[in-house]
């Protein structure tokens, strides 16, 4: 028999999700079988899978000890704890992700990721103890492509994770980017609205002018800040968050992002010796509501330092 007392970072989630994370060896069909057989109980009674857990609840499992063997902890040996922090408090960390670093482990099983670095950083600060948590780990709330730099949000506890994920899902975060593009948009500002369809086998996104079963609406607002020769510095604001959205949309209007090897112009990329796209998630504004757990964030906007490519290509941005 094993008991789990629900703590602050475990509360608010469905019972089946907690069980899957706390005892991963019984995730899936075996867990549902144990629930049906009442080998897993909540506060001494039958445990329903959809029950939302509250702090102080007790889950009791009458199952073999073999399922509780602790898997080896994630190996962070050799991972740097060097994180460029833009803002941090007890709930949230805003980090600056450099170009070339992946946010999560990818298909190549890359160990050096942004979330690994943040986890190591929080462990060394004494703010996160993997052994002391039953189901929670620090989590990123937004993602950036490997070769896009800029602000990434990390939740340091379960309450902030739920609040931030809800804000992103409901489009209550204002995300703005800076990019260097080849050419200059015909209009100095405007909105690009198309359907985008991702072909997984190619990891490539295509513009569709009409809706298809696999496509999704994508909306991008842009504003030209300045030009320098054949290049333009453009501010982009996302109204939707589709894969490769900015890169595809800027290429669609004839102004691909400099350095973009997939959707851009390789002749220009070679001329400027750019191997990665000149794209930075530089500003993040929060509309999370004044009454919630993150109410102190409401109305705040955080801005990253000016990316190097702006100075290199356009001089001082004044």
Q: Residue 14 burial by CB count (10 A; 0-12/13-18/19+): exposed, middle or buried?
A: middle
Q: What is the pLDDT of residue 24?
A: 85
CATH class of residue range 174-282:
alpha beta
- Sequence-distant (6+) residues with CB within 8 A of 315 are 228
Q: What is the pLDDT of residue 28?
A: 82
Residue-wise pLDDT tens digits, 13-41: 899 989 988 888 888 888 999 999 999 99
Residue 142 contacts residue 92 (beta carbons within 8 Å): no
The number of residues in the chain equals 318
Q: Where are the domains of the chain?
A: 2-68, 85-169, 174-282
Residue 73: which pLDDT band, with cuts at 50, 70 and 90? low
The answer to whether residue 298 scores a pLDDT higher than 70 is yes
Q: Which of 127, 111, 120 is nearest to 82 (CA)?
A: 120
For residues 249-266, average pLDDT: 97
**Is CATH 3.40.80.10 what the domain over 85-169 is classified as, yes or no?**
no
Name the percent of the chain lying above pLDDT 90.
Answer: 75
CATH of 2-68, one of 3.40.50.300, 3.90.950.10, 3.40.50.720, 3.10.290.10: 3.10.290.10
Query: Among all residues, which ones are annotated catalytic?
Result: 145
Q: Name 199's bridge partners.
A: 204
Residue-wise pLDDT tens digits, 118-165: 999 999 999 998 878 888 889 999 999 999 999 999 999 999 999 999
Q: What is the pTM of this model?
A: 0.83
Do the two domains 85-169 and 174-282 of this chain adopt the same fold?
yes
Q: Residue 281 burial by CB count (10 A; 0-12/13-18/19+): exposed, middle or buried?
A: buried
């Amino acid at each position: 028999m094993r008991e789990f007392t629900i703590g602050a970072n475990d509360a608010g989630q469905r019972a089946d999700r907690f069980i899957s994370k706390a005892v991963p060896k019984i995730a899936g069909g075996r867990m549902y079988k144990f629930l049906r057989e009442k080998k897993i109980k909540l506060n001494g009674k039958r445990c329903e899978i959809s029950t939302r857990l509250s702090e102080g609840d007790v889950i009791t499992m009458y199952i073999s000890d073999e399922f509780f063997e602790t898997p080896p902890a994630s190996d962070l040996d050799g991972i740097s704890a060097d994180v460029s922090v833009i803002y941090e408090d007890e709930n949230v960390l805003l980090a600056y992700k450099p170009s070339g670093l992946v946010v999560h482990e990818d298909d190549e099983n890359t160990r050096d990721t942004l979330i690994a670095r943040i986890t190591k950083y929080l462990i060394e600060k004494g703010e996160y103890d993997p052994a002391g948590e039953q189901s929670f780990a620090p989590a990123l709330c937004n993602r950036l492509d490997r070769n896009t730099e800029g602000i990434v949000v990390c939740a340091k506890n379960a309450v902030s994770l739920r609040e931030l994920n809800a804000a992103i899902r409901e489009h209550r975060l204002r995300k703005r980017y800076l990019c260097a593009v080849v050419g200059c948009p015909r209009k100095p500002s405007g909105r690009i609205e198309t359907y985008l369809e991702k072909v997984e086998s190619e990891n490539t996104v295509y513009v569709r002018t009409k809706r298809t079963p696999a496509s999704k609406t994508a909306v991008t607002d842009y504003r030209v800040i300045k030009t320098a020769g054949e290049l333009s510095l453009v501010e982009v604001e996302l109204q939707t968050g589709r894969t490769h959205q900015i890169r595809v949309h800027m290429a669609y209007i004839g102004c691909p992002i400099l350095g973009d090897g997939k959707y851009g112009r390789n002749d220009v990329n070679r001329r400027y010796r750019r191997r990665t796209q000149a794209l930075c998630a530089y500003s993040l504004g929060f509309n999370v509501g004044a009454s919630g757990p993150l109410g102190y964030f409401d109305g705040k906007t955080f801005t990253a330092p000016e990316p190097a490519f702006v100075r290199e290509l356009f001089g001082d941005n004044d």
